[in-house]
Structure 1
Amino acid sequence: DLDDKRVQVTIFRVANFGTLAAVRLCKLSVRAREENTFGTRPDSGEQKTRISDQRFNQSEYLESQERIHTGKKHHHCFQCGKSFTQFGGLKVHERIHTGEKPHQCSQCGKSFTQIGTLKVHERIHTGEKPHQCSQCGKSFNNLGTLNVHERIHTGEKPHQCSQCGKSFTRLGTLKIHERIRTGERSYKCLHCENTFCSLGILKLHEITHTGEKPHQFSHYGKNFTQSGSLKMHERIHTGEKPFKCFQCGKTFNRSRNLKLHEMIHTGEKPHHCSQCGKSYTLLGSLKMHERIHTGEKPFKCLHCGKTFYRSTNLKLHEMIHTGEKPYRCSQCGKSYTLLGGLKMHERIHTGEKNFKCLHCGKTFYCSRNLKLHEMMHTGEKPHHCSQCGKRFTLLGGLKIHERIHTGEKPHHC
């Protein structure tokens, strides 16, 4: 029935073969297709001539549609063997091998293989960002970038590693992840012998040779090697925190900080100590923990020569020499080296005890005291004597014990 405006099957007469062929198309109307493809009325002489002239085009169109729906790819690249449904797609692909880039930007002279890529590039110069996120209002110069951005809000990660099951929002990030697993490093620096798993990392590395810092902060001229670093820096001044936790609503200025925060909710601790099995959210935390086992203390005080596991511990120690205590209690005037020390002190005035033991329900002013208390329940004693092997919950307890072996008696009458 030609009056039916929504049909799935359209019949074309292919003149070359004198037969009827049916192909399932995308529910277009017969009437619209007759008007747009074959003319309004096939009974006029002029229109018959038009149809006759277009027989080959109709046949070609039919074959093209069949390939789309059947997945057949008849056009093959002689260089790499990749196949395409459309001849035009093959032609564009071949430019990868020939290096041909016929579409040039009139503003900066940069060339592109496809006209569409040039159009998107030109928006960098015009500032046009026609694609806006419905969730946060952020705008983008191309639809693909918007689609990837929206996954931040939806949490969608459609690209999964077949080896370890880890999922990613971008296909490119998955590809880089897979190269890390396989050890593939296809991108080589022209200045030195270093190789890299992605072109982006190579470009960042090359800046170390050139010293280039193309991204400048408009307020006081500070320069950055990466546009992303500039954007993150600008958020310090604007206070923008676009990355929001779906669990508790807390916002962050970096996506990385959000991911680390989300591990608090999930309990994920992917980094494990090979010596004792203790797990950590951050690789850096694991590295610091491993120094307990190795005894490595790479951070040295220039005033007294004392060494530390962590740089933060060294900085705190140096304040003993300088006497610096920048944080002062508004209630009693007591001063502290650390803001955290002041916060814990203020809980004495407020009576606040936020840290609760899951074993017995006892509450504490600070997380450190809770952790030490929990060791009573778990029996954990991470500090052991190198002389006799005796173990202690606290490092201070170990230090006192070691004096038995050294004979040290620091306290005089």
Structure 2
Amino acid sequence: MEKPWKCVDCGKRYRSQSQLEAHRRSHTGERPFTCTQCGEGFSHLCSLLTHQRVHTGERLFTCSQCGKGFTCSSHLRRHQRVHTAERPFTCPQCGKGFTCSSHLQTHQRVHTGERPFSCSHCGKGFTQLSNLRKHQRVHTGETPFSCPQCGEGFTCSSSLRRHQRVHTGERPFTCSDCGKGFSQSSNLVKHQRIHTGDRPFTCSVCGKGFTQSPHLLKHHHVHMEKPWKCGDCGKGYRAPCLLEAHRRSHTGERLFICSQCEKGFNQFSSLRTHQRVHTGERPFTCSQCGKGFIQSSHLQTHQRVHTGERPFTCSQCGKGFTQLSSLQTHQQVHTGESPFTCSQCGKGFTRLPDLRTHQRIHTGEKPFTCSQCGKGFTRSSTLRTHQPVHTGERPFTCSQCEKGFSVSSRLLRHQRVHKRYRRTPELGAGLGPEENSAIHSGEKLYTCCVCGQDFNQSSSLSEHNYSHNKEMAWQCEDCGKGFKYPSQLETHRRRHTGERPFTCSRCGRGFIQSSSLRIHQRIHTKERPFSCCVCGKGFNQSFNLALHKRVHTGERPFTCSQCGKRFSQSANLAKHRRIHTEARPFTCSVCGKKFKESSNLAKHQRVHTGERPFVCSQCGKGFTHSANLLRHQRIHTGEKPFICCVCGKGFSQSSTLLTHQRIHK
């Protein structure tokens, strides 16, 4: 049929004047048909009628297979392709099919690299307008979709649905080959390619196949020109938005701010990864042990634990590592380099994170706080170790004796007791079966092959071996003592200089080493992390626990060579020997009187100074000894703990009871 009515703008022809008039509105932008409810305008009456069904909820066109309703027939036709699997719109480059032409147009931008929708804030480009709108919520902070369980907000509803599976544990997408479940269908599709070997994404230049389209897009960069050059470092990029993102690494600009902790990032992907710290989401799961990770790179590194792969090898000693950063840190052992130095105490570190953690000792900062007792810690790992104190949880169990431990390192240390041979590489002496109970008897499994001294940890033996090593390169100028490392010499030098850089924030007392400060702080916190497994008594040092265990075992390893008397501690043996030698090494500088023990000298010196540190809380009288104060306090309390067994009379002092008992003789 003839079309006599021609559009003067585009040349298109129509059969009637009314059709031409309606078409002209596409050029003029005229929208004469307006919705009375929302005010939106339309160029055609039929478009207005279809739109009004949005407000009325009317759905005239119903799917005969699933019953779903639609407001217009074109939407129904598009939907029916879901049931028929018809995909009439095919990509000429990769052959992928689509149910509607708009989806094909969007998909073709993957091949052309076209991103017509750009963010006005950061310049990032998108292939779809809807993706741009979602992205802009990153800058505005808008999160209209909130989780009803934890309150976390999301920029789009699909992200909320995926997140909710973290709470429910739902994995609705199951692999038909191995039965593994996934929380997202896209993850299932990617996983199934492991079984099929399918690589549907092929490079049009070199023919290389990939299992995922992002991998193909990354690969395309190899063949593409990079016309956008960075003026600072000369690095090239294929798009201005990528160059803009890179420039932030030089300017320090951080456009993407975390809404919870206000930390800034120069890329949105970095912000997304960081937010998983707050949500606890770990989308990358190890298929062997089930452990979850925030980033895929962390999962890849972890999987080497199971495979035993160590791709990074030290060129000097041949030791292998699972991470490049671990190799770089290790190489500093050979060079002796400690590039990160504490400005307060001069201690050197091979890694910047270790320096930052160390500096908290000087500042007193404890950013990791226990939610139950409020105690603060300088490291998150120390907090995790502390938390089982409240729960009583001991998740690490010995498979041989079923003893439980709160920390895996203590279990590993304990398991050495059950091993057949003693771990002394130089000596290699075998142990008998009776040594399986060594952990309970306090026996020490690591023996020095030079002097025969025993240790309960391999690390203690390693430190002791340095005393036999003649290559002590770092010598003290004051006393000539040699050290293996400069950090050890630095610590030792403080004994001569009197420097105490580690100060207690509560009482002001100073210490030479940070470990001594940590032990001291337990006096204020009352923390006793080392508990006796027999009686439950707690101690603030592992050394004190080891001494206490001898009370239960009856062990007295220190024997007097003159009278044969045995002692549980070397210090008690040293005091005892003075009975035979009559040595009195502690001399009063005022009167010259000598004493066997330093504590007796300290008490004696109060005679000269007049110091009376033990004061009665009731009458204010002072005493030089705590025992004298206890005797005095019985005057106020009327307590008479010493009772005569003959007549039952009580006395406040034992000496008075002895005098009284002479009456009955």
- Pairwise CA distance, 1:321: 0.6
Q: Contact 1:179–1:197 (CA<8 Å) still a contact in 2?
A: no
- Pairwise CA distance, 1:237: 1.0
Looking at structure 2, the residues matched to 338 and 180 of structure 1 have their Cα atoms a distance apart, in angstroms, of 38
Looking at structure 1, the residues matched to 371 and 296 of structure 2 have their Cα atoms a distance apart, in angstroms, of 26
Q: Note the 1:68-107 alignment, pairs <5 A.
A: 69=52, 71-73=71-73
Q: Note the 1:229-308 alignment, pairs <5 A.
A: 229-308=242-321
Looking at structure 1, the residues matched to 51 and 378 of structure 2 have their Cα atoms a distance apart, in angstroms, of 66
- Pairwise CA distance, 1:98: 9.8
1:148 pairs, out of 124, 134, 149, with 134
Deviation track 1:256-307 (CA, whole Å, cap 9, x = no partner) reads 2212222222222334445554433333334444444444433322111122
**1:26 aligned partner, one-letter code:** C
Secondary structure of the corresponding residue to residue 337 of structure 2: coil
1:214 pairs, out of 214, 227, 251, with 227
Distance 1:64 1:355, change over 3 A: closer
Distance 1:141 1:285, change over 3 A: closer
- Pairwise CA distance, 1:150: 1.9
Q: Given the alignment of the two structures, is residue 408 of structure 1 paired with residue 394 of structure 2, yes or no?
A: no
Looking at structure 2, the residues matched to 74 and 278 of structure 1 have their Cα atoms a distance apart, in angstroms, of 47
Q: Given the alignment of the two structures, is residue 317 of structure 1 paired with residue 330 of structure 2, yes or no?
A: yes
- Pairwise CA distance, 1:69: 4.7
TM (norm. structure 2) is 0.38
Q: Contact 1:291–1:309 (CA<8 Å) still a contact in 2?
A: yes
1:50 match: none
- Pairwise CA distance, 1:194: 0.4
Question: Does 147-156 or 250-259 show the bigger shift?
Answer: 147-156
- Pairwise CA distance, 1:159: 4.0
- Pairwise CA distance, 1:245: 1.1
- Pairwise CA distance, 1:165: 7.0
2:219 match: 205
Distance 1:320 1:73, change over 3 A: same
Give percent identity, aligned residues only: 31
Deviation track 1:212-251 (CA, whole Å, cap 9, x = no partner) reads 3333212342123565553332111111111111112221
Q: Given the alignment of the two structures, is residue 27 of structure 1 paired with residue 36 of structure 2, yes or no?
A: yes
**1:256 aligned partner, one-letter code:** S
In structure 2, list runs of 5 or more residues that go unmatched: 1-17, 19-32, 54-70, 82-87, 94-104, 144-154, 167-183, 427-447, 452-665
2:379 match: 366
Looking at structure 1, the residues matched to 374 and 268 of structure 2 have their Cα atoms a distance apart, in angstroms, of 34
Q: Contact 1:216–1:230 (CA<8 Å) still a contact in 2?
A: yes
Q: Note the 1:134-213 alignment, pairs <5 A.
A: 137=121, 146-152=132-138, 153-155=141-143, 156-159=155-158, 180=190, 186-190=200-204, 191-195=206-210, 197-198=212-213, 201-208=215-222, 210=223, 212-213=225-226
Greater RCO, CA 8 A, separation 6+: 1
Secondary structure of the corresponding residue to residue 253 of structure 2: coil
Secondary structure of the corresponding residue to residue 365 of structure 2: coil
Q: How many residues align?
A: 318
TM (norm. structure 1) is 0.58
Q: Contact 1:271–1:280 (CA<8 Å) still a contact in 2?
A: yes
Question: Does 62-71 or 186-195 show the bigger shift?
Answer: 62-71
Looking at structure 2, the residues matched to 284 and 141 of structure 1 have their Cα atoms a distance apart, in angstroms, of 26
Looking at structure 2, the residues matched to 231 and 371 of structure 1 have their Cα atoms a distance apart, in angstroms, of 41
Looking at structure 2, the residues matched to 381 and 356 of structure 1 have their Cα atoms a distance apart, in angstroms, of 24
Looking at structure 2, the residues matched to 361 and 75 of structure 1 have their Cα atoms a distance apart, in angstroms, of 59
Secondary structure of the corresponding residue to residue 262 of structure 1: helix
Question: Does 396-405 or 147-156 show the bigger shift?
Answer: 396-405
Deviation track 1:18-69 (CA, whole Å, cap 9, x = no partner) reads xxxxxx95129xxxx9xxx9xxxxxxxxxxxxxxxxxxxxxxx444544555
Looking at structure 1, the residues matched to 220 and 312 of structure 2 have their Cα atoms a distance apart, in angstroms, of 30
Looking at structure 2, the residues matched to 218 and 241 of structure 1 have their Cα atoms a distance apart, in angstroms, of 19
Looking at structure 1, the residues matched to 424 and 339 of structure 2 have their Cα atoms a distance apart, in angstroms, of 35
2:574 match: none
When the two chains are superposed, the root-mean-square deviation of aligned CA atoms in Å is: 5.1
Deviation track 1:348-387 (CA, whole Å, cap 9, x = no partner) reads 22222222344654433222333344466532439x89x9
In structure 1, list runs of 5 or more residues that go unmatched: 1-14, 16-23, 38-60, 83-93, 100-112, 168-173
Pick the structure with greater CA Rg. Answer: 2
Deviation track 1:300-344 (CA, whole Å, cap 9, x = no partner) reads 221111223333222211110111111111112222111122222
**2:136 aligned partner, one-letter code:** E
Q: Contact 1:381–1:394 (CA<8 Å) still a contact in 2?
A: no
- Pairwise CA distance, 1:147: 2.1
Distance 1:64 1:245, change over 3 A: closer
Q: Contact 1:189–1:206 (CA<8 Å) still a contact in 2?
A: yes
Distance 1:362 1:287, change over 3 A: farther
Looking at structure 1, the residues matched to 304 and 89 of structure 2 have their Cα atoms a distance apart, in angstroms, of 53
